[in-house]
Structure 1
């Protein structure tokens, strides 16, 4: 009876292991193959990459001795990633924590990484300026990013945009590139939501305006009196009247003066207390989320 109990205990322990020993014999342990693309890391980006199928996947890299706990969402998601990789004959390698940290630049890898083909911006086609009858009724919102240089901010903006129903995100040439850091900061949204790039963001705004899109800038409340050719609104009070392009400016200096001249409206987020000069603004991704949420709430009330 004691022997049987020990066997049952041993069986239970072995069943909690994420990968069986027999499976590991078929897949390489420790050896990291030569990188073919770039490494993305983290549970959400890896799963989103597999779902979106926008990149070629070369290798799945997993930390040795990963275990599944059904009460742990992260581990259950890793199980999905592993099953998907096996189903599509993706090469799987098991490596130590130190090697994963080196691959991820010591960022939070959650025990998983992938060697994948780099993801590129999409070109903004001429036909995408046109407004359909459905768009005229639904009043879509697009984001134009003017000088976002921090990949963490870029990723957080993409996450907000996807969650809050943005139609398209368009960047100029003075923004940071799509990268593993952006993908991680976006919780994988970069893999799911195409990001468009244009050579000249001012020309893009002008062409959008010609086709009926309203161009709306964002700004610090205290600099409104310096803004020409635009009416000023608190984002909580503004109601969309047309399909709209919202311009989000640089983390430091905001929307450039040249772009402000293309805007018919400027939106701000007024503070609810007196702010010292050392703290007078919000993080650009936080501000983007507040503006987008305010626009969606106000649109639902009309």
Structure 2
């Protein structure tokens, strides 16, 4: 009963007159910031100063991108629309990367606001912002189903990665970072996969800003269309695959498609809990697994780690 009454008297985090933007974060607010916000609201009536640093007066037009490398690369690639740059008023402006971010923002005529670390903590929802946040539009994506018939501009076989229901934005960011490192051409996000949010961009160390991102709402229909084209090899990473990654050879794939001129390879990666449905597995040309040590009591790898092994093994043979 006492707990119920205590909850009723607690001030709400969101101000009645201000609607904060919905951001794709797995944890909307940290316990520390919740307590800080509650204290500020408790003493709000005793403070008559107009505090521009108050969370309730911070308004974002888009998403809050945070972290040095994601913001620097975003400003360089210019794939997003930019609204305002927030910099810590206690940061070391002599750092080359901070100076570069400032210069890029000025060249793009982006308003710059110097603010407290506490405000940056709130803008990034207590994520590691490294003294800089950027109000910007979401990263643009394309519908892969409207790009049937992708042609390569050279004799190089393109290597794409299709993520099936990857729920964790940290995993997504790690996968995108690995994909860029190994030269993957496209990332395809199926329905049920988390959005390419600022959290994913930070986890990718900014690689999200560099990768072509596509979405796929109907994976079955898309794979069916690829079968009709007959120039794309579909490789599924499965828990119970019929081929071990250790023995998988790209030369065997090329021989299978020699008469139809292999142009693309798509590797499908599912999450570590559900994997990929049997229906999708049957639509792939190859079902490949990563076999554990015979003494291992762990049957699967983290999706990001498994993806890294696949990308290295296949890209090294290309």
The Cα shift of 1:99 comes to 1.0
Give the distance between the partners of 1:41 and 1:133, measured in 2 at CA.
35
Give the distance between the partners of 2:138 and 2:146, measured in 1 at CA.
25
| Corresponding position of 2:41 | none
CA contact (8 A) 1:209 1:215 kept: no
Runs of at least 5 residues in structure 2 that lack an aligned partner in the other structure: 1-51, 255-261
1:191-270 paired onto structure 2 within 5 Å: 191-211=209-229, 212-220=231-239, 223-224=240-241, 231-235=242-246, 237-239=248-250, 240-241=253-254, 242=262, 243-270=264-291
CA contact (8 A) 1:235 1:291 kept: no
SS in 1 for 2:283: coil
| Corresponding position of 2:306 | 287
- TM-score w.r.t. the length of structure 1 is 0.78
- Does structure 1 residue 99 correspond to structure 2 residue 119? yes
| Corresponding position of 1:109 | 129
- 1:173 counterpart (180, 191, 194): 191
The Cα shift of 1:84 comes to 1.1
| Corresponding position of 2:171 | 153
| Corresponding position of 1:60 | 85
Give the distance between the partners of 1:129 and 1:45, measured in 2 at CA.
32
CA contact (8 A) 2:87 2:113 kept: yes
CA contact (8 A) 1:143 1:246 kept: yes
Paired residues, number: 254
- TM-score w.r.t. the length of structure 2 is 0.74
Alpha-carbon spacing, 1:42–1:132, altered in 2? closer, same or farther (3 Å): closer
Give the distance between the partners of 1:143 and 1:123, measured in 2 at CA.
15
Give the distance between the partners of 1:284 and 1:188, measured in 2 at CA.
19
Runs of at least 5 residues in structure 1 that lack an aligned partner in the other structure: 1-28, 70-74, 225-230
RMSD between superposed Cα atoms in Å: 2.0
Give the distance between the partners of 2:148 and 2:204, measured in 1 at CA.
24
Alpha-carbon spacing, 1:133–1:291, altered in 2? closer, same or farther (3 Å): same
